[in-house]
Amino acid sequence: MPDPSQPTPKALKNTWRWVVCGLDGTIKSFLDKLATNVRAAYILDDSAVMACDLPSDNTEIYQHANDGTPRVNYGRRVLYGLRREEPGGGDPPWVCRFAGVITILQDQATEDEPVTHLTAHDPWTWAKTLPVLNPDGSLLSQDGLTYTGQTGDYIAKDLIANAYTWIVATFPDPMPWSEQGDGVYLPNDGQHNFIDIDTGNFDTTEVIPEINFAQGISVGEAWTQLCQTGTLDIDLAPVFGRPGVLCVMNVYAQAGSERPNAVFGWDLFPRNLVGIDHLYDGTLIENWAQFYAGNLAAPFEKSDGSIDIYGPYFAQKSYPAGANLPAVSLLAAAEVALRKKGKNTLVVDPAQGLAPDPFTNYYLGDIVPVWAGRPMLPNGNAFRGGIRSESLGTNRVYGFELDLSDDLQETVTNLLLTDPNATI
């Protein structure tokens, strides 16, 4: 057996193991020798998703486990993705890079080969089923729930903590993921739910003057609304080997860091991109915003520089009655700042084996250099919109997809980057 403290041979790096477990953490099956068309998607401030195809007639798929249901089942099984990476300091080479509940199974038979299509989502999707509640545990009224003068990290944690308190009070029996075998259960105390909200990193983020969550909104949807203020990022980091817990919640003022060595180039050094798609979307320009709090108009916000270039693009938005007018005006100012140049997105396809390694060289929220469009005389670029990351602070990673071939070697596709300061 190879020594895990030694460097991993290059041929074995970036391979994956897919482990199916019961909600209590007991292993039911391994999919890495069976799964085909494996793909995974990672999105900043949203749910990670894994999908694959499985042979329905294989015993590792259909055979009943000790709970009387198939080894691969929906709702009652969790899926872990363990990625082989370079160990350091004797650490194990397998790192948990995905943990989620198997949410969708679809059995199909074409000719004589039955296939099961599997989809798993990380716990952000579970958070979309948890209700946003008042501090006393009651459902929201038509006025919703308003936080005034609180930091974003406090609001993000309070939203799910209220839901956990409701779970403990309403369902005193242990959760199905709390069973430890032989009739032993972990207590339903809010410490053993899918998302660990106690041990992660919580930056003290900016104070949000006022934010309202509408009646009927879920915790996951409220987190999205929070992240859209631009004051924080929420990361659910997957973990393996903690029964009942799939991820640890982290809140950052801004996730990621500058990665000057994670360089991507198309027709320029290091020429490690096989595709590039640069989108300029002027339909999303907003340079004059009038927001309302009920029937009251907040002071409008505008960008004279944007109006001089593109002409006026008007936007309106209404918030519930009783919302703070200065806070609504600040939201209008933030939206104009974000949309005054429209939307500029960059999608690249890195070359397998040549481009920087996801997870270890870059990840969601990181800022990376991208170079495309060699200079052309007299005054232009081979790529119509020449891209030059001569200084960092430009292209930020917002999402990417992984395609795993049948031998589980990975290829990164649709690496989504956004430069908020780019002009159209």
What the block records as the tokens of 310 is 């593109």
What the block records as the tokens of 3 is 């020594």
Closest CA to 134 of 247, 227, 213: 213
What the block records as the tokens of 401 is 């997809």
Indicate the pLDDT class of residue 48, thresholds 50, 70 and 90: very high
Over residues 261-268, mean pLDDT: 88
Residue pair 349/275 in contact (Cβ under 8 Å)? The answer is: yes
Indicate the pLDDT class of residue 186, thresholds 50, 70 and 90: low
Residue pair 408/38 in contact (Cβ under 8 Å)? The answer is: yes
Residue pair 381/354 in contact (Cβ under 8 Å)? The answer is: no
Indicate the pLDDT class of residue 284, thresholds 50, 70 and 90: confident
- Per-residue confidence (pLDDT) for residue 173, from 0 to 100: 66
Cα 394 to Cα 307: distance, rounded to the nearest angstrom: 24
Cα 196 to Cα 319: distance, rounded to the nearest angstrom: 32
Residue pair 141/207 in contact (Cβ under 8 Å)? The answer is: no
Cα 11 to Cα 8: distance, rounded to the nearest angstrom: 8
Over residues 124-144, mean pLDDT: 92
Cα 403 to Cα 410: distance, rounded to the nearest angstrom: 6
- Per-residue confidence (pLDDT) for residue 134, from 0 to 100: 93
Q: How many helices (H) and strands (E) does the chain have?
A: 6, 27
Looking at mean pLDDT, say which of 13-17, 164-168, 214-218 comes out highest. 214-218
Of 243 and 232, more confident: 232
Dump pLDDT digits (tens) for 338-393: 788 787 788 899 998 889 999 999 999 999 988 887 777 777 676 766 676 555 55
Closest CA to 348 of 256, 270, 404: 270
User: pTM to 2 decimals?
Assistant: 0.85
- Per-residue confidence (pLDDT) for residue 242, from 0 to 100: 85
Cα 195 to Cα 126: distance, rounded to the nearest angstrom: 9
Is residue 120 classed as helix, strand or coil in its secondary structure?
Answer: strand
- pLDDT exceeds 80 at position 44: yes
Looking at mean pLDDT, say which of 386-390, 395-399, 404-408 comes out highest. 395-399
Element (H, E) at 250: strand 247-252
Given phi > 0 = left and psi -120 to 50 = alpha, else beta, which region is 97? alpha
What's the whole-number average pLDDT of the chain? 84
- Per-residue confidence (pLDDT) for residue 4, from 0 to 100: 45
Domain ranges of the chain: 10-121, 127-252, 264-281+343-418, 286-339
Dump pLDDT digits (tens) for 5-30: 444 444 445 689 999 998 888 899 99
